[in-house]
């Protein structure tokens, strides 16, 4: 059912009356705040989507400005089919958006989204507070086309996104006999961060090899499994960490970098330490009998520390 606000919003967008549409967004969002409703969702989300997608950047960026009054500015969690800042980031270059965005959280997420889309930010963006580079590393780019890194948003609302499962295919995999469970290593920050990538994932750390870790979750003693480079599993991990409508691919990338940084075990890790970790990781993926649409089964072995992590789960359709 189309609401009066949405009908009016579509008419304003069709006529290119973007300033009036921005005023409508702020009115609806402010009214939702007064009523105690979640302003991040319906009905301000669809209106915000129209603005973020179609308005000139000088108007669209004002979605996140507080000059409309209390509770009228969009935040990082405002979304329709995806966060409004990500919709905006898919429409304009960082060069055009950088002078227009003030809230630091929004600037950061838009900058990382532009990096995912292949935009070279150069010195026009502030250094990331967690040290995550604003340039994709070679292993982040391997096997992941720019057009599939972020949701494909539609002008009137909604988005297209092909779900990336891991293993993506059984091609190249074979039966692998798993050993007994490795010795559990509890309490590591890296394990918690890996498990927190998605609400449907479980994570565990063991002292041992990738098969030792996989044995903790694999339902079969001899699953269909195989090794592959970390770059091949990276897209599925980022997408799993950004599966909720309020999260964008930049959120997923930052969450995964946070986990990888913790996995290095270094006291003050930086991008070079993460790159070194990725280069030495042995990645094992396996299948489960019930796998259908969106799932992830992965073991990550760090031979330098003798630790291995397993991540496993499936999202409901």
Calculate the alpha carbon distances from 145 to 118, 196, 232, 235 in Å. Answer: 10, 26, 12, 10
DSSP codes of every residue in 170-209: STT-EE----SPPEE--S-HHHHHHHTTSTTEEEEEEES-
Q: Give yes or no for residue 5 having a pLDDT over 80.
A: no
Note whether 109 and 253 are same-domain residues: no
pLDDT band at 167 (very low <50, low <70, confident <90, very high): very high
pLDDT band at 7 (very low <50, low <70, confident <90, very high): low
17-46 pLDDT tens trace = 999 999 999 999 888 877 776 555 457 899
The pLDDT assigned to 182 comes to 79
236-269 pLDDT tens trace = 999 999 999 999 999 999 999 999 999 999 999 9
Calculate the alpha carbon distances from 294 to 233, 237, 286, 310 in Å. Answer: 14, 11, 14, 17
The pLDDT assigned to 274 comes to 98
What is the number of domains present in the chain? Answer: 2
Cα 175 from chain centre: 32
Note whether 221 and 260 are same-domain residues: yes
Note whether 120 and 227 are same-domain residues: no
The pLDDT assigned to 4 comes to 52
The pLDDT assigned to 2 comes to 45
**What's the CATH number where 290 sits?**
3.40.1000
Do residues 19 and 38 lie in contact, with contact meaning Cβ atoms separated by under 8 Å? no
Note whether 202 and 153 are same-domain residues: no
Note whether 130 and 209 are same-domain residues: no
The pLDDT assigned to 42 comes to 53
The pLDDT assigned to 185 comes to 96
265-313 pLDDT tens trace = 999 999 999 999 999 999 999 999 989 899 999 999 999 999 999 999 9
The pLDDT assigned to 1 comes to 38
Asked if residue 88 is part of any domain, the answer here is yes
Asked if residue 168 is part of any domain, the answer here is no
Do residues 239 and 82 lie in contact, with contact meaning Cβ atoms separated by under 8 Å? no
Asked if residue 166 is part of any domain, the answer here is no
Note whether 45 and 183 are same-domain residues: no
Domain end: 111, 138, 160, which one?
A: 160
Note whether 88 and 23 are same-domain residues: yes
Note whether 125 and 69 are same-domain residues: yes
Q: Give yes or no for residue 317 having a pLDDT over 60.
A: no
Note whether 154 and 180 are same-domain residues: no
Note whether 25 and 151 are same-domain residues: yes
Domain end: 138, 160, 182, which one?
A: 160
Asked if residue 133 is part of any domain, the answer here is yes
298 strand-pairing partners: 285, 311
Range of the domain at 35: 4-160
96-142 pLDDT tens trace = 999 999 999 999 999 999 999 999 887 778 899 999 999 999 999 99
Asked if residue 294 is part of any domain, the answer here is yes
Note whether 200 and 271 are same-domain residues: yes
The pLDDT assigned to 181 comes to 77
Do residues 304 and 266 lie in contact, with contact meaning Cβ atoms separated by under 8 Å? no
Asked if residue 165 is part of any domain, the answer here is no
200-221 pLDDT tens trace = 999 999 999 999 999 999 999 9
Q: How far apart are CA 257 and CA 273, in angstroms?
A: 11
Note whether 244 and 102 are same-domain residues: no
């Amino acid at each position: 059912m189309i609401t009066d606000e949405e009908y009016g919003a579509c008419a304003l967008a069709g006529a290119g009356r973007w300033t009036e549409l921005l005023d409508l967004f702020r009115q609806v969002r402010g009214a939702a705040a007064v009523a105690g409703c979640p302003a991040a969702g319906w009905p301000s989300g669809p209106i915000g989507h129209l603005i973020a997608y179609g308005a000139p950047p000088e108007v669209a960026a004002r979605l996140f400005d507080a000059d409309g009054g209390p509770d009228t500015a969009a935040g990082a969690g405002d979304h329709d089919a995806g966060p409004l800042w990500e919709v905006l980031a898919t429409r304009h270059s960082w060069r055009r958006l950088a002078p227009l965005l003030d809230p630091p959280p929004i600037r950061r997420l838009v900058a990382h989204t532009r990096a995912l889309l292949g935009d070279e930010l150069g010195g026009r963006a502030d250094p990331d507070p967690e040290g995550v580079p604003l340039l994709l590393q070679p292993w982040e780019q391997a096997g992941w086309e720019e057009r599939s890194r972020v949701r494909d948003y539609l002008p009137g609302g909604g988005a297209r996104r092909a779900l990336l499962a891991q293993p993506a295919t059984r091609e190249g995999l074979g039966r692998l006999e798993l050993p007994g469970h490795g010795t559990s290593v509890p309490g590591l920050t890296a394990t918690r961060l890996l498990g927190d990538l998605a609400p449907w994932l479980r994570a565990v750390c063991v002292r041992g090899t990738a098969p030792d870790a996989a044995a903790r979750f694999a339902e079969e003693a001899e699953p269909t499994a195989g090794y592959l480079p970390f770059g091949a599993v990276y897209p599925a991990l980022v997408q799993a960490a950004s599966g909720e409508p309020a999260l964008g691919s930049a959120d997923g990338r930052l969450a995964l970098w946070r986990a990888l940084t913790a996995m290095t075990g270094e006291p003050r890790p930086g991008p070079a330490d993460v790159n070194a970790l990725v280069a030495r990781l042995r990645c094992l993926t396996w299948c489960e009998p019930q796998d259908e649409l969106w799932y992830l089964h992965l073991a990550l072995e760090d031979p330098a520390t003798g630790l291995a992590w397993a991540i496993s789960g499936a999202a409901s359709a």
